[in-house]
Structures are given as structure tokens and as C-alpha cells.
Chains A and B, each alone.
Chain A
């Protein structure tokens, strides 16, 4: 399945551009995750594929057909909605059978396929219930079943787990993955939860402001973010980003000194993940910085430490609703330390930054400077 320069404007003054020429190619049977902050156009992209929105320009190709002018019903796609959108007046059986009936599948086949699918999803005992009598997890399964039973060419999911509680979400996540593998259907899965994206997808497409930021395997996107946005968006807590300057092969940001011979002189952004920080005594000889501890979160097997360091933080607007850090405040950095830590609020902590996980970005464009800062 291919999205080719798909552009979508919503009428208005000025027109609201939800997608700015999105290009995506999804291999047969692949599960591609579309991830990005709220309002970045994920749902819009999905709806353009489903035929619920007409792209302003660009092509949508499914299999060997260009479908952007086709109505939904002729596209051979199926979709799982965030609120499930089950037909309230039909039983679970009726919900599963609806699409097959609309496609004039012979009655005995419908019955067989519905029952098989119900069995596979473990909802065969619910077939006579109505949606109002289902729990969230059950509704979720029915919604999936309704989509998959049609054996569509493309399977679309729009934040299917966001209405479930945390525990159920984990369970359903792996169930979705299993089902997708089993059926082997080309799938596009939308989420704003980057953790979900990391665990689920063959590949991840990170979108921001209607523009594709990076497309790659979870590992690529996480380890080699193409720009500061992707770096900041993937992972919790976010990657720490400090403003710095490069001069004669050395980048300095606050206390931090990194050698990066290929970087041209000028302002840069230095990024490092919280988990690549370690107490200095454990890793001698690597770049260091000093943190004044502010908040300590004990998680048992690890400790999250937030504190201030010298230097200036670089802010990447992920969600415009979040307040920007105060001007001139010291830079806030997060560290993920192994095991139980004795750190207290107010402590001055010497931290080492493991070199190989250091990222450098152009201060103006946010583009990654080379793939990774290797010393």
C-alpha cells in the first residue's frame, strides 16, 4: 500500500493543512505504526486511506489499484475505531456478519467465517449479546473481529487501545499483534503513544504537523532519530536536549564536552537519553556533567532522577499546549539510574554520559548531524 504525496486541507480561512504531502509505502503483510503528537494528522492520514476523507491531492494505492477516488465500500479496507463504533442494534454476530452481507458473501460462508473469527478472538460465547452488554475489552475484540472477518486488503486501526485501562491495554496489544501476524494483513496502526509504537510495529512512521519525520524500524527510530523532534518524541522520559556550540571539533554544552570532529563550528543541540546517564564513578573517562537533584522517583528496579544542570535546554515543541521552560532557568535533565539509588533532593550528582548514545542536531533545523556522534 502506498500513500503518494497525500495532501489534505480542511476548508477554512486560512485552510487548515492537516497533511503536507505524506509519502508512505507499506509492504504486504507489514504492520506500520503511525505515531505523532495530538493533532499531527494521524487520523486524517488513516481516513484518507479508508476513504472517509478525500485527499486534496496525491494518490492512495492499495495493491495495484489507485483508490483515492473510490468510495470506502469499494476499497477493501477495514477499520477499528477508537470508540469501537459497533452497531448498537445488532448482536455481536450481526456486527461481524454485517460487512460480509454487504459484500454478498453466501450465507453459509458468512456463518462459518463469523464463527471461526469469534473463536479465534475468544468471543464465541458472546455472539448473541448486544454491544451495550459488552465490557471494554470485549467490545475491542468484537471491533477487531468485525474488521478482520472481512479479510480486507488493508487493516486500519485508530488508537484502538486508548479506551482501555492500562493492564488490559498491554494484553490487547499483544493480542492485536498476534492476530495481525496470524492473518498476515497489511496494517496501519495509529497511536499517539510512543511506547505502544515501539513494542508493536515492524516499522514506525513518526509524523509531526502533517509531515513525515522519520520512517524506520523501532530500533532505527529510537537509536538514530533523524531530527530533534523524533529524538524528543520517542522514549519516556524524553531525550535530554541541551543547547551547545561546536568549536574546532569539540562541542560544549554547559559542563559537557564532547569531541565531534566532523561538526562545523556554530550552535548545535546535544541530545542524550536518560538511560545513557550513569553515576560518574561507574564510567570513568567519558563526558560528565553535574546535576542538582530536584525530584527522585523510585521505581524499584530503577530510579528516575530529575535535576538541573548548567547550560540551556533546547525545547522541541511536541505539544504546543505544554508551557515552554522559563527563560534563563537552569536546564532540567532526566536520568534513569539502575537499581535503587541513595540520591536525595538537593544532592549534587556527578553523571557520566555514555558516549555512543550521544546525538547532535543542527540548532537551526533540528536535523541530525550525521547519524550519531561517534567519537
Chain B
């Protein structure tokens, strides 16, 4: 019925905005907005992923022309006893580091999640290592654990124990790395747990208390299950970082003594930048990537069984 009105007005209306349709369209704006990201991530994220696949099929010292070797790098990797040893060390390290940090952080977080005197101090003490660089951490522990003049050995002697070699002992160096990195990561894990604990509704704990549960049981049955997602996240995140351990080793032991701390990424670094085996190093990186992916998937699958998500 108003169609006729509209038709009548049509001739004298100005049709505006053909240009706006093109320039102001969501599509144009969208691409404009993502273009810096596309440029940077494309050049330094996506292209290198593809390139490194190619590299891993090459024998390449980054100087002389590369030769295509197919799967040779990967085959060599499987037979490389040094690589196998580095994988073993990495696994040992991860198996120690991840559970220790997780359990310790849970205990500390539960303790920090209350109103106590001196809480500010406690929290600051626990969080401060988080912002400390890995290099500085390594230097500090190198000094604390110095076999000749270190304070830790002094304490041991005072307690009537023999002085230890620590970073200079092939049998202890890896465990020293564990201690050092636990110190460095504890604060982060505590923060994650604290955040999760804040998310547990107070009423739930109160309800459990009213139901007659002891505090321990209330924690076990109510709080702990609700920390499942945080734990899963932490375990995955800590594992990923454990498998990529490098900085601390570079600064403290350089993979020694007697290769006792040559973990996968350190081995990769040696191959790439000391022996100039870029192709071989990249193959190691891909195997590492695969390992991380696999471990993450397995953890997620196990997590799905045991972790209870609200909502």
C-alpha cells in the first residue's frame, strides 16, 4: 500500500554511498585491521613453519648450497644415541619438574588463599621469581650451589653431610636444574591455582561444612575436583615448557658435565649453531613438536576422563 508512495518519491531521492559500500565494507575494514598481523605472522610464523619442513629434508649448513636428502635426517635421528640420550634426560626432567611444581603449588596456593598475617610478604616472596629472568635465576643458583664456595654446601657441611658437586657432578646436575626451575616456576603455578580457588564458590565449602564434612574432606571432595581444569591447564603448560628447557642449561652447565644436562633443545642448539647442521636441527625440532603435540593430546584425553568442568 505504501509501495506507491515509495515509487513516487523514488525519482527525487539521491542514491548515496556507492563508494562507502566498497571502502567502508566490513570486508575491507577487516582485512585492513588484520593486515599488520597477517604480515608479521605470515612472514615470521607461517612461512618459517613451511620453510623448516623443507629444511628438515635437506643437508644444510646455512652457508654452502643445500642438498636434498629426503628422510635421511629423520632416519639418522632415530639411530643417533646422543639424541636418544637427550630425549631420555628431557623425559626425566619433565617427569620430575611437572609433578613437583604442581603439587607444591597446590599446597602453597591453598595456604595463600586465606587471611593470615603477613600474607603480603608471603605472596610477594612466592611471586617474585616469576618476573626473574631465567638467566638471572641460573646465575644465582650457580653461585648458591657452587661446589667450592657455595652456601648450600656450607649448610650441608654444618649438618655433618659431605659437600656435593651439584652442577659439576654428572649425576646431580640434572636434579639441580630441576630444583632451580621449580623455584622459578612455582609462583606462576600458585597464581593459576589461586585464581581457580577464588572461583570455587564459598557457599560450596559452607554447604559441605554444614553437611558435617571435616575441613580435609571438604577440601578433598569439594574444592579439589573443582581445581581439575586449572590442574589440567598447568600440567599441559608446564610440560610444554619443560620439554623446551634451554636457557638455564645454557647459562649453568652448557649441557655438561659429560652431557649430563644435554636436553633435546640444547642438543638442537648445538647441532644448529655449533655444528651448523641446520637440516638435522630442524628435524629434531619437528620431532620435538610432534612429542609436545602427542603429550598434550594424551593429557587432554586423560584430563577429559578425570576433570569435571562446571557449566
Tell me whether chain B's interface is mostly helix, strand or loop, or mixed.
Answer: helix
Task: Find A2's partner among B2, B15, B20, B24 (CB 8 Å cutoff).
Answer: B2
Minimum Cβ distance to chain A for residue B60 (Å): 48
**B6-43, CB < 8 A from A:** 6-7, 9-10, 12-18, 20-21, 24
| B1 interfacial by beta-carbon distance below 8 Å | yes
Contact check, B3 vs A5: say whether CB atoms are below 8 A apart. Answer: yes
**A64-87, CB < 8 A from B:** 64-71, 74
Contact check, A65 vs B13: say whether CB atoms are below 8 A apart. Answer: yes
When distances are taken between beta carbons in the complex, the residues of chain A under 8 Å from B16 are 65-67, 69-70, 74
Q: Once bound together, how far apart are the Cα atoms of A218 and B2, in whole Å?
A: 17
**A1-54, CB < 8 A from B:** 2-5, 23-25
Q: Once bound together, how far apart are the Cα atoms of A334 and B150, in whole Å?
A: 94
Contact check, B9 vs A71: say whether CB atoms are below 8 A apart. Answer: no
Minimum Cβ distance to chain B for residue A368 (Å): 15
Task: Find B14's partner among A23, A65, A71, A215 (CB 8 Å cutoff).
Answer: A65
When distances are taken between beta carbons in the complex, the residues of chain B under 8 Å from A4 are 3, 6-7, 10
Contact check, B20 vs A23: say whether CB atoms are below 8 A apart. Answer: no
Task: Find A25's partner among B6, B18, B21 (CB 8 Å cutoff).
Answer: B6
Contact check, A23 vs B9: say whether CB atoms are below 8 A apart. Answer: no
Contact check, A23 vs B6: say whether CB atoms are below 8 A apart. Answer: yes
Contact check, B13 vs A61: say whether CB atoms are below 8 A apart. Answer: yes
When distances are taken between beta carbons in the complex, the residues of chain B under 8 Å from A2 are 2, 5-6, 9
Q: Once bound together, how far apart are the Cα atoms of A258 and B16, in whole Å?
A: 56
When distances are taken between beta carbons in the complex, the residues of chain B under 8 Å from A61 are 6, 9-10, 13
| A359 interfacial by beta-carbon distance below 8 Å | no
Minimum Cβ distance to chain B for residue A69 (Å): 4
Task: Find B5's partner among A25, A59, A65, A66 (CB 8 Å cutoff).
Answer: A25
When distances are taken between beta carbons in the complex, the residues of chain A under 8 Å from B10 are 4, 59, 61
Q: Once bound together, how far apart are the Cα atoms of A356 and B18, in whole Å?
A: 54
Q: Interface size bucket, A side?
A: 10 to 19
| Minimum CB distance partner of B3 in chain A | A23
Contact check, A69 vs B18: say whether CB atoms are below 8 A apart. Answer: yes
When distances are taken between beta carbons in the complex, the residues of chain A under 8 Å from B24 are 71
Contact check, A66 vs B13: say whether CB atoms are below 8 A apart. Answer: yes
Contact check, A64 vs B17: say whether CB atoms are below 8 A apart. Answer: no
Tell me whether chain A's interface is mostly helix, strand or loop, or mixed.
Answer: strand
When distances are taken between beta carbons in the complex, the residues of chain B under 8 Å from A23 are 1-3, 6
Q: Once bound together, how far apart are the Cα atoms of A71 and B5, in whole Å?
A: 25
Contact check, B17 vs A67: say whether CB atoms are below 8 A apart. Answer: yes
Task: Find A70's partner among B6, B7, B13, B17 (CB 8 Å cutoff).
Answer: B17
When distances are taken between beta carbons in the complex, the residues of chain A under 8 Å from B3 are 4-5, 23
When distances are taken between beta carbons in the complex, the residues of chain B under 8 Å from A68 are 17
Q: Once bound together, how far apart are the Cα atoms of A10 and B16, in whole Å?
A: 24
When distances are taken between beta carbons in the complex, the residues of chain A under 8 Å from B12 are 64
When distances are taken between beta carbons in the complex, the residues of chain A under 8 Å from B5 are 2, 25
Contact string against A for B residues 213-242, beta-carbon threshold 8 Å, 1 for contact and 0 otherwise: 000000000000000000000000000000
Contact check, A69 vs B21: say whether CB atoms are below 8 A apart. Answer: yes
| Minimum CB distance partner of B24 in chain A | A71
Contact check, A64 vs B14: say whether CB atoms are below 8 A apart. Answer: yes
| Minimum CB distance partner of B18 in chain A | A69
Q: Once bound together, how far apart are the Cα atoms of A213 and B189, in whole Å?
A: 62
| Minimum CB distance partner of B26 in chain A | A54
Contact check, A74 vs B17: say whether CB atoms are below 8 A apart. Answer: yes
Contact check, B2 vs A70: say whether CB atoms are below 8 A apart. Answer: no
Q: Once bound together, how far apart are the Cα atoms of A197 and B2, in whole Å?
A: 20
When distances are taken between beta carbons in the complex, the residues of chain A under 8 Å from B1 are 23, 215
Q: Once bound together, how far apart are the Cα atoms of A3 and B2, in whole Å?
A: 9
When distances are taken between beta carbons in the complex, the residues of chain B under 8 Å from A24 are 2
When distances are taken between beta carbons in the complex, the residues of chain A under 8 Å from B14 are 64-66
Q: Once bound together, how far apart are the Cα atoms of A62 and B11, in whole Å?
A: 14
Q: Once bound together, how far apart are the Cα atoms of A233 and B10, in whole Å?
A: 33
When distances are taken between beta carbons in the complex, the residues of chain A under 8 Å from B15 are 66, 69
Most B CB within 10 A of own CB, among A2, A3, A5: A2
15 further A-B pairs in the complex, CB-CB below 8 A; given A23-B2, A69-B18, A71-B24: A2-B5, A4-B10, A23-B1, A23-B3, A23-B6, A59-B6, A59-B10, A64-B13, A65-B16, A66-B13, A66-B14, A67-B16, A67-B17, A70-B17, A215-B2
Chain B interface (Cβ < 8 Å from any Cβ of A): 1-3, 5-7, 9-10, 12-18, 20-21, 24
Which 10 pairs of residues, A with B, have the shortest CB-CB distance? Answer: A69-B17, A4-B6, A70-B17, A25-B2, A69-B21, A66-B15, A25-B5, A71-B24, A23-B2, A66-B13
Chain A interface (Cβ < 8 Å from any Cβ of B): 2-5, 23-25, 59, 61, 64-71, 74, 215
| A–B pairs, 23, beta carbons within 8 Å | A2-B2, A2-B5, A2-B6, A3-B6, A4-B10, A23-B1, A24-B2, A61-B9, A61-B13, A65-B13, A65-B16, A66-B13, A66-B15, A66-B16, A67-B17, A68-B17, A69-B16, A69-B20, A69-B21, A70-B17, A70-B20, A71-B17, A74-B20
